[in-house]
C-alpha cells in the first residue's frame, strides 16, 4: 500500500529498517547506578536462584522464599520511585 502511494522500495527500506539502527550512534545517554546497586542485584539473583531451585525440586515455593520475593519486589519499586526524576 505504501509503495502504491509513491514511496520507493529504497526509501521504505531506509526509513523502516536502516535508519532506526543508526539512532544509538546519535543518542548516547549515560546511566548512573544508585549506590549499592551490585549488592542489591546479587541479593535478588540469589533469591531468584533459590526460588527456581525450589520450584524445580518441590514444585512450590516455601513461605520464606515467597515473603522474600514479595518484599524484594516492593523494595525494587520503592528504589525506582526514589531515584526517578521528573
pLDDT in tens, 29-75: 666 776 778 888 899 899 999 999 999 999 999 999 999 999 999 99
- Residue 84 confidence (pLDDT) above 70: yes
Write out the DSSP string of the chain: -TTTTT--HHHHHIIIIIHHHHHHHH------PPTTHHHHHHHHHHHHHHHHHHHHHHSS--HHHHHHHHHHHHHHHHHHHHH---
pLDDT at 74: 93
Model-wide pTM > 0.75: no
With 0-12 / 13-18 / 19 or more C-beta atoms within 10 angstroms meaning exposed / middle / buried, residue 61 is middle
Cell numbers found for residue 3: 509503495
Amino acid at each position: 500500500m505504501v509503495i502504491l502511494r509513491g514511496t520507493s522500495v529504497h526509501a521504505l527500506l531506509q526509513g523502516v529498517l536502516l535508519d532506526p539502527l543508526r539512532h544509538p550512534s546519535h543518542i548516547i545517554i549515560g546511566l548512573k547506578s544508585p549506590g549499592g546497586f551490585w549488592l542489591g542485584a546479587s541479593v535478588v539473583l540469589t533469591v531468584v536462584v533459590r526460588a527456581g531451585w525450589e520450584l524445580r525440586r518441590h514444585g512450590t515455593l516455601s513461605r520464606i522464599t515467597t515473603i522474600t520475593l514479595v518484599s524484594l519486589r516492593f523494595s525494587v519499586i520503592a528504589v525506582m520511585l526514589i531515584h526517578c526524576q521528573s
